[in-house]
Structure 1
Amino acid sequence: MTWTRRQLIQVGGLSTVGLVGGVLIEQAWNTKGSFAESQPGEINLHSFTFEVVTVYARGNIATRHRRQAEYFIENLGNGVILEMVSIPGGTFLMGSPNTEEDREDDESPQHSRTIAPFSMGKFTVTQAQWKAVAALPQVNRELDSEPSYFKGDNLPVEQVIWDEAVEFCARLSRLTGRDYRLPSEAEWEYACRAGTRTPFHFGETLSTDLANYNGDYTYGAGKKGVYRGKTTPVGSFQVANNFGLYDMHGNVWEWCADSWHDNYQGAPRDGSAWQDDNDNQYRLLRGGSW
């Protein structure tokens, strides 16, 4: 994992771990009920409990606490489900301050963004979920049902180009009757930060006890850790951020909807994707990787 927190890649190209990250649906859901009783098109929210940790400057765990959030389930068939977590709307500072260690120019200027409520996948999309959606009728392009280098139903899907990630969302939308899409970069960062302002949602540094990245590299006063050299099953570390989202740091890079821009000068002030009308073929990856 590199400490560059934004990365660009050409639309038709694969990064070392090309992937589809957390899919997103726009809407705040408020209905309650039983999943077994839900009809097609209905959303029934249930609560779940998860653990959140913060770390000291060296990466040792400082606090542990339990939180609750709401989610709903999409049934993809053959026992495969997709869990979607409700993310409250709000305003946050996007980018990094000039004082942050190892910050890059493309993370500036730090600016305020206002995000509408939405729902996002609790985990990055797994290979089982990808295979289930890839078996659905084509919308715009074909999908390889098993594109990943590392194999495992509960491993995150990788080796997926941006257009294939968009096709995944299109098929999921047609299946469910809801509008699934890739998150904008602003939505992704808002969801990752989950109300925090530190370099990582865990705190001032990161630990390989909490995320899958190359532990030969350190950040701040953090200690060296392990280098696994492969992806890990989603949710392996059993800790989430304050919104209830897992693996937002490391494991696999996650696609965003935006075109690449060298910095945030002229960026929208809401949560919309910043897309160019020209032939800009570069898109954004966020989150780091193994």
Structure 2
Amino acid sequence: ADPEPAPEPEEPEVHTIDIVDGPYGMSFARIPEGSFEIGSGEDEIGRDLDEGPTKEVQITEFWLSQTEVTLRQWKSVMGDLPFRWQSGNAPPSWTLDEPVRYLNWDEAHEFINRLNHLTGQDYRLPTESEWEYACRAWEDSPYWSGATESELRESDWVGPYGTLSEVKTTERYNAFGLFDMHGNVSEWVEDDYFDNYRQLPEDGTAYEHLPRFTMKVTRGGSFLSSPDSSRSASRAPMEASTRFSTIGFRVAANQMTELVLGE
């Protein structure tokens, strides 16, 4: 008998919240619970030593914004554009639907704290384990779209052939409903940086090296990154005070409450 065809993948579950007075909302995808091996195997092309040893991590269901936070969303929450755009030092051409960038780790937290104040909710940065799990979306290849650079080129915005793009410019998203997990801008996560995973929590929570430790992590690579530096497992240690044209963030939540969903 012929083998049964593989089941069709389920459509991602997505909810949109209206931030402040809208109509520009922030869409969140449900990331189902599960376990995975964080990091990369020793035979993965482009692998760095800090991507190991691989470790099985259990992830509790959470929600993650479908896209990186945009300038429009930043302005809706914070009341104005970031300082670089106010000071006349903005890039020569930009739109409100590009990812917000030139933000350090603390400024990403300022946005989230303000969003929590406005909505009464409990948003946060994703942990490093959550980020990689969400990026992979059940895939164990170097990129969620497959194991080749050509497939990456079709999906996301990565150097040397990449340019910064408005969010959702491509119609391709991963199995969890997330856009631009490879490239466009790299993304702050909650964790302190350490050069291996031996002490990484197995429950998906953030790794804390020392109180007030200032070396953090960005994930996903950017429009200026090589494909190797944009793999699902790739990590970039970064001082929390860093403001680069290539760094942004997205927002996570443990749950979407009835108040947010408007049910």
1:102 has 2:35 as partner: no
**CA RMSD of superposed structures (Å):** 2.0
Q: For residue 231 of structure 2, what is the aligned residue in structure 1? A: none
Aligned to 2:166: 233
Report the CA distance between 1:202 and its aligned residue: 0.8
Corresponding letter in the other structure for 1:244: G
Report sequence identity in percent.
37
How far off its partner does 1:276 sit?
2.4
C-alpha distance in structure 2 between counterparts of 1:175 and 1:71, whole Å: 21
Residue 286 of structure 1 and its aligned partner are, at CA, apart by 0.2
Deviations 1:93-120 (A, max 9, x none): 1000111112110000001000000010
User: Comparing both structures, which one devotes a greater share of its residues to helix?
Assistant: 2
Between stretches 182-191 and 148-157, larger displacement belongs to: 148-157
* Cα distance per residue 1:32-77 (max 9 Å; x no partner): xxxxxxxxxxxxxxxxxxxxxxxxxxxxxxxxx8741212211122
Matched position secondary structure for 1:250: coil
| Residues 1:244 and 2:187 are matched in the alignment | no
Counterparts of 1:289 and 1:277, CA distance in 2: 28
**Structure 2 residue aligned with 1:156:** 99
Matches within 5 A, 1:107-256: 107-135=51-79, 144=83, 146=85, 149=91, 151-207=94-150, 208-215=153-160, 227-228=161-162, 230-256=163-189
Partner in structure 1 of residue 250 of structure 2: none
Cα gap change, 1:66/1:146 in structure 2, threshold over 3 Å: closer, same or farther? farther
Alignment partners' CA distance in 2, 1:284 and 1:173: 23
How far the C-alpha of 1:243 sits from its partner, in A, is 0.5
> 1:272 aligned to 2:215?
no
Rounded Cα–Cα distance in structure 1 between residues aligned with 2:13 and 2:125: 20
Rounded Cα–Cα distance in structure 2 between residues aligned with 1:204 and 1:184: 24
The SS at the match of 1:69 is: coil
User: Whole-Å Cα distance in 2 between the matches of residues 97 and 204 of structure 1?
Assistant: 13
Query: 1:89–1:115: 8 Å Cα contact kept in structure 2?
Result: yes
Query: Contact (CA 8 Å) 2:29, 2:178: kept in 1 or not?
Result: yes
Q: 2 CA distance for matches of 1:186 and 1:73?
A: 24
TM-score (norm 2): 0.75
Mark the runs of 5 or more structure 2 residues left unpaired by the alignment. 1-7, 224-263
Does the residue aligned with 1:131 lie in a helix, a strand or coil? helix
Question: Shift of the alpha carbon at 1:280?
Answer: 2.2
Structure 1 unaligned blocks of 5 or more: 1-64, 137-141, 216-226
How far off is 1:277 after superposition?
Answer: 2.7
Match in the other structure for 1:39: none
CA distance in 2, matches of 1:239, 1:204: 16
2-structure distance, mates of 1:191, 1:250 = 15
